[in-house]
Amino acid sequence: MAASVLYDQPGPRAKVRNRILAVITIVVVAAIVWFIISQFAAAGQFAPQKWAFLQSPRIMQGFMQGAINTLTAFGLAAVLSLALGFILAVGRLSDHAWVRAIFSFLVETFRAIPLLILMMLLYYGLPTIDIKLTPFTAVVIALTAYNGSVLAEAIRAGVVSLPKGQAEAAYAVGMRKYQVMTLILLPQAVKSMLPVIISQLVVALKDTALGFVITYQELLYQVKLIGNQISFGYPLIPAAIVGAVMYIGLCLILSGVARYAEYRINKQPGTKKARAKMESVQAS
């Protein structure tokens, strides 16, 4: 049976039209970028004195400290998010309805609350009941709760996508539920969903910037401090450009890891079949 598609294959005219639209889009985007750059240049944002702050060791130390704080919060939150994701996923796959209900409620709650609001509740709300958290702790807990719930859904989808015969065969030879999950199902689910997991970790890295609102001194916080330096003529735009380049570099590294992981997984036998099974399960 031929595989069904959601759209018709484009004909010769459609291909020409798509190429024309692609060229127009590129031209429009390039024009917008050129306009923005020209406006910055006209405002003197590219003048040498605006970028003199890069020659200051104190300023460069501030950038590096912000990057270190960003990576520290991300690293801890990534590890805790993975652990929480596994716990929530296993809970949602429980044989007991009341357990599934509790863990489903937790997952949906953490996913529904905007991450920034969650950080503010932890940092500004908890002191009203005499519980005080540092900005670092509030950022890590919020990132863990949100990304852990998202990862739980990815892991659960990976487990559901696996052929049921594997679990049935494991039960037939006397394996217990936790053995089936930890030795058979979860390793395969993580393998098939690894690109999704890494992509979510990239999102977690960028979301550390929200810690700026609760005074966590990550990269964006340092960008604001440096941009408000009167001795360098308030170089806010240049400082923001440097910060953006640093964020882009960090995200590109993680994205490269995701592409490499996906490439390695696609080369291994059985991965394509598992992914096709997962897509059919999600479609149903």
Q: Is the pLDDT of residue 255 over 60?
A: yes
Say whether pLDDT at 247 is over 70. yes
Domain 75-283 part of CATH 3.30.1490.20: no
Read off the pLDDT of residues 155-173 as tens digits, 9 standing for 90 and up: 888 888 777 777 777 778 7
Taking the CB of residue 137, how many other CB atoms lie within 10 A of it? 15
Query: How far apart (Å, rounded) are the C-alpha atoms in residues 12 and 20?
Result: 13
Closest to 45 measured CA to CA, from 234, 249, 245: 234
Question: Which tokens hold the place of 11?
Answer: 């004909």
Residues 6+ apart with CB under 8 A from 150: 85, 111, 200
Beta carbons of 45 and 238 less than 8 angstroms apart? yes
**Alpha carbon of residue 144 to chain centroid:** 11
pLDDT-derived band at 150, boundaries 50, 70, 90: very high
Residue 2's pLDDT band, with cuts at 50, 70 and 90, is: very low
pLDDT of amino acid 7? 57
- For the stretch 119-142, pLDDT in tens is 999 999 999 998 999 999 999 999
- Per domain, the residue ranges of the chain are 75-283
Q: Identify which has the larger pLDDT, 283 or 78.
A: 78
What pLDDT band is residue 272 in, cutting at 50, 70 and 90? low
Confidence of residue 8 (pLDDT cuts 50, 70, 90): low
pLDDT at position 4, please?
A: 45
Flag whether pLDDT at 149 surpasses 90.
Answer: yes
Kindly report, residue by residue over 36-66, the tens digit of the pLDDT: 888 888 877 787 878 888 888 888 898 999 9
Q: What is the pLDDT of residue 280?
A: 47
Q: Which residues have CB under 8 Å from 113's CB, separation 6+? A: 121, 146
Are the beta carbons of 238 and 159 closer than 8 angstroms?
no
pLDDT at 266: 67
Mind listing the pLDDT tens digit for each residue in 64-113? 999 999 999 999 999 999 999 989 988 888 888 898 899 999 999 999 99
φ/ψ (deg, to 5) at 161: -75, -15
- Is 31 a residue whose pLDDT tops 80? yes
Under the banding of pLDDT at 50, 70 and 90, the label for residue 26 is: very high
What is the model's pTM?
Answer: 0.77
Residue 85, pLDDT score: 92
Name which of 267, 278, 242 is nearest 52 in CA terms.
Answer: 242
**Tens digit of each residue's pLDDT (9 = 90 or more) over 197-220:** 888 888 999 999 999 999 899 999
At 120 the pLDDT is 94
What is the overall mean pLDDT for the chain?
83
Distance separating alpha carbons of residues 41 and 230, to the nearest angstrom: 20
Is the CB of residue 201 less than 8 Å from the CB of residue 254? Answer: yes
Residue 69 in tokens: 């704080």
